[in-house]
Chains A and B, each alone.
Chain A
Amino acid sequence: MAAVKLDMDRIIDDRRTRIIVCCGSGGVGKTTAAAAIGLRAAERGRQACVLTVDPARRLAQSMGLTSLDNTPRRVDGVDTSGGGSLYAMMLDMKRTFDEIVEAHADPDRAAQILANPFYQSLSSSFAGTQEYMAMEKLGQLRHAEEWDLIVVDTPPSRSALDFLDAPQRLSRFLDGRLIRLLTGPAKAGMSYMRVLNAGFAMMTSVLTKILGAQVLKDAQTFVTALDTMFGGFRERAESTYRLLQAPGTAFVVIAAPEPDALREASYFVERLDTERMPLAGLILNRVHTSAAGRLSAARSLAAAETLDMQDRPNGDGPRYIVAIAALRNHAERMNLGKRERRLAEHFTSAHPAIPVAEVVAQPEDIHDLDGLRKVGTILSQQAP
């Protein structure tokens, strides 16, 4: 089944596109794809900003991202003749979180929260917080109105879905029963408390036993402090969520032609559909193709075997070593390509309406603007 082609240039050139979110499982080339899309957009006249989370060192350097300072920096070496520009920034998770706290609490309370051990653990750990902060930063950049296109590279989550769930998980947690218990009877309401009172006393004693009194007290202080900012938190999470559902957003799912990555991509596509998030298409990265497809793997291998038996005149091994290597190499590549094609077809049969763009595997890693430019060109020149 032939998939519909993803037309990346149409998305980039459409001024109504304000946010492009690149998502997918770890190790599929999300950061590279996001940077390539940002660069191409800038060179086609957009004021683009790439928000990245964890770029490879050399790629980061090529974009001038030498420090993690949470501010977009202008990227040099971009062709700005079309009136566009490219900015890039690396997310500083803790700093972003600190800024939210400072924005939502009075100075005394903010200082109290920032010093709390639970806050420090939460704000510098990776599970969930990074996703939440990436979405928060996206909201900030969008509202700054300095750029007309923001390309986000999502965090290297355990699962591609984590960043969608993170804001809601945090807000669900803050709304949870435990929080109401910890923050005390005043919040929970008296009748509720009467039912729970015996249970509550027992639970507090068990928690004290397991966690220790100090931990429980710190936790209580923290959630009480956080509780005052709760409204702000939830509002922000919800507004970012709405931003992602808006028509100006385009999700691009990135996958490598491997079973795990495509399985994740499949889940993600279905999830976006359920959440009514606008999916632009799938980028299938690192695909192996051959310009010599007219020579089949089987025929190529058979030819290599024929040559294996033709020794040099002096009997010192096969005569045509290079030809044998080329034929075996070709057969391997054809087989790999065939397997990848089958995996891709598995995806397209399940999701026939999703546009797909393929990026052929590059023999070397991409770590400069020229490499990114090349990926951008490949993305936009999908044969019909």
Chain B
Amino acid sequence: MTTRDTDWDGVRLHVVTGKGGTGKTTVAAALALALATGGRKVLLIEVEGRQGIARLFDCPPLPYDERKVALGLGAEGAAQGGDVYALAVDPEGALMDYLEMFYNLRRMGKTLTRLGVVDFATTIAPGLSDVLVTGKATEAARRRVGSRGSEHLYHAVVMDAPPTGRIGRFLNVSTEVSGLAKVGPIKTHSDTVARVIRSPQTVVHFVTTLEEMPVQETLDGIAELQELTDGAIRPGGIIINMARPALLDEADLAAAANGSLDVGEFALGLKAAGINDNHGLAADLMTELSEHALQVALQNRERDELLTSGRPHYELPMIPDGIDLAGLYQLAAILRQQGAA
């Protein structure tokens, strides 16, 4: 096993958030693949009941059970990858776990479900349901195996978390719950969960595309975490997703954007490629190129904006044919190459 430094050595719980449509689940899965190197086990947790992980890994819907879904990305050279396990957490299953673990009361749990206690938790006190779900993730991150619990079962846990707009509240469980319970077992449990989430073992990564709204939400999300928890919950990296590479150098892009490219030279090029400029084809292609230039300029502006946060950032390209398993490994390799794992 290589002992290569990564940007997040020592982190056991990677929380991945992002605005809807930015590819949060895809990035969380790629990060899990990248972390699962050299025989290590990584757990990928889904919390919103969408079964997005099962779809990505092309397997049947995940039950409330830790299942192996993929081999990790092998390291450079021939070293074997590790294993990626996946788990879809729902508040009800997490409540059963909690009851069993602390009170040995699984049967009672079923009665409580029938009576609507779980509905109660999710409807009237969402803070309680969040503490159960994050509790499951922190439990997995701390779970030990081996003689006298000498080793962690999972090298890392990656959580596909709620979107940026909700992440602060979702993670700030102890404050949310302490409003409800000042003392008692729920309070104790939420304090334990909060301790893990507020330790250097946990970071929150933000996934964004290079568009205005997702970028703004990312910066707001980082600020909100800081504000809500007084810096106790650590922001991790910014993972830029679906970036489109520039096709020309800066000067030519600028010329394309303001329409000052040499049209004659361009037409000559088309001719040399055996394409006739009939019905204004050259002009249409030039328009498309100028739109590309505008898009690149927008991406650059948004990237600069993100960099003002001072967070480490990683950049994943648009995978043109849509995300499949091969595409996931491709993204995992890029994340690792850039030092995210």
**Chain B residues with CB below 8 A from A324, complex form:** 269
Are A210 and B99 touching (Cβ within 8 A)? yes
Q: For B247, list chain A residues within 8 Å (CB).
A: 325, 328-329
Residues from chain B with a CB closer than 8 A to the CB of A325 are 247-248, 252, 289, 292
B77: Cβ under 8 A from any A Cβ? no
Q: How far is the CB of B149 from chain A (nearest CB, A)?
A: 26
Cβ contact within 8 Å between B275 and A295: yes
- Name A179's closest neighbour in chain B (CB-CB): B116
Tell me whether chain A's interface is mostly helix, strand or loop, or mixed.
helix
Closest B residue to A263 by beta carbon equals: B55
Q: Is A189 an interface residue (CB 8 A)?
A: no
B18, closest chain A residue (CB): A27
Asked if A106 is an interface residue, CB under 8 A from chain B, the answer is: no
Q: Which residues of B contact A170 (CB under 8 A)?
A: 123
List residues of A (245-304) whose CB comes within 8 Å of B's CBs: 256, 258-261, 290-292, 294-295, 299, 303-304
Report the contact-size class of chain B (Cβ under 8 Å from the partner). 35 or more
Does A363 lie within 8 Å of B295, measured CB to CB?
A: yes
Residue of B nearest to A293 (CB): B284
Question: Which of B50, B180, B185, B268 has the most CB atoms of chain A within a 10 A radius of its CB?
Answer: B180
**B266 touches A (CB below 8 Å):** yes
The interface residues of chain B lying within 8 Å CB-to-CB of A54 are 165
Is A339 an interface residue when CB atoms closer than 8 A count as contact? yes
Q: Are A122 and B298 in contact (CB under 8 A)?
A: no
A303 proximity list for chain B (CB < 8 A): 270, 273-275
- Residue of A whose beta carbon sits closest to that of B118: A178
Which residues 339-359 of A sit at the B interface, judged by CB distance below 8 A?
339
A176 close to B180 (CB less than 8 A): no
| A173, B269: Cβ atoms closer than 8 Å | no
Stretch from A135-143, A212-220, A230-238 forming part of the interface with B: A212-220
A181 and B117 alpha carbons, distance in the complex (Å): 11
On whether A291 and B287 interact (CB within 8 A), knowing A176-B116, A303-B274, the answer reads: yes
Stretch of A34-42, A68-76, A201-209, A373-381 lying at the B interface? A201-209
Question: Would you call A28 and B266 a contact (CB within 8 A)?
Answer: no
Chain B residues closer than 8 Å to A28, beta-carbon distance: 20-21
**Within 8 Å of chain B (Cβ to Cβ): is A10?**
no
Select A26's contact among B21, B285, B295, beta carbons within 8 Å.
B21
CB-CB nearest in chain A for B267: A323
Cβ–Cβ < 8 Å partners of B48 in chain A:
158
* Residues of B close to A169: CB separation below 8 A: 123
Q: Is the CB–CB distance between A322 and B262 below 8 Å?
A: yes
Most buried by B among A122, A210, A320, A324: A210
Q: Bound complex: CA of A214 vs CA of B183, how far in Å?
A: 8
Please tell me which stretch of B30-38, B107-115, B151-159 contacts chain A, meaning at least 4 of its Cβ atoms lie within 8 angstroms of it: B107-115
B7 at interface by CB-CB < 8 Å:
no
| Residues of the A chain whose Cβ atoms lie less than 8 Å from the Cβ of B163 | 26, 156
Query: Are the C-beta atoms of A125 and B127 separated by less than 8 Å?
Result: yes
Question: Is A183 engaged at the interface, CB distance under 8 Å to the other chain?
Answer: no
Q: Which segment of B197-205, B212-220, B221-229 sits at the interface?
A: B212-220
B169 within 8 A of A: yes
A327 touches B285 (CB 8 A): yes
Which residues of B are found within 8 Å of A212, using beta-carbon distances?
181, 183-187
What residue in chain A is nearest B184 (Cβ atoms)?
A212
Give the distance in Å from the alpha carbon of A327 to the alpha carbon of B267 in the complex.
12
User: Residues of B contacting A172 with CB < 8 Å?
Assistant: 119
User: How far apart sit A133 and B163, CA to CA, in the bound complex (Å)?
Assistant: 20
Q: Which residue of A lies closest to B247 (CB)?
A: A325
Q: Whose C-beta in chain A lies nearest to the C-beta of B22?
A: A27
Interchain CA distance A25-B25 in the complex, whole Å: 15
Q: Give B170's nearest chain A residue, CB to CB.
A: A126
On whether A329 and B185 interact (CB within 8 A), knowing A363-B298, A364-B298, the answer reads: no
Nearest Cβ distance between residue B109 and chain A, in whole angstroms? Answer: 9
List residues of B whose CB falls within 8 A of some A CB.
19-22, 48-50, 52, 99, 103, 105, 108, 111-112, 115-117, 119-120, 122-127, 129, 162-163, 165-166, 169, 176, 179-187, 211-214, 216, 247-248, 252, 256, 261-262, 265-266, 268-270, 272-275, 279, 281, 284-289, 291-292, 294-295, 298, 320-322
Listed A/B pairs (13) with beta-carbon separation below 8 Å? A28-B20, A28-B21, A178-B117, A181-B115, A199-B111, A203-B112, A212-B186, A214-B181, A214-B184, A322-B265, A323-B266, A363-B295, A365-B298
Chain A residues packing against B (C-beta within 8 Å): 25-28, 54, 56-58, 117-118, 120-122, 125-128, 156, 158-159, 169-170, 172-173, 176-179, 181, 199, 203, 206-207, 209-215, 218-219, 222-223, 256, 258-261, 290-292, 294-295, 299, 303-304, 306-307, 310, 319-330, 332-333, 335-336, 339, 363-365, 367
* 9 closest cross-chain pairs (CB), A and B: A26-B20, A212-B184, A27-B21, A323-B269, A320-B269, A27-B20, A303-B273, A292-B284, A178-B116
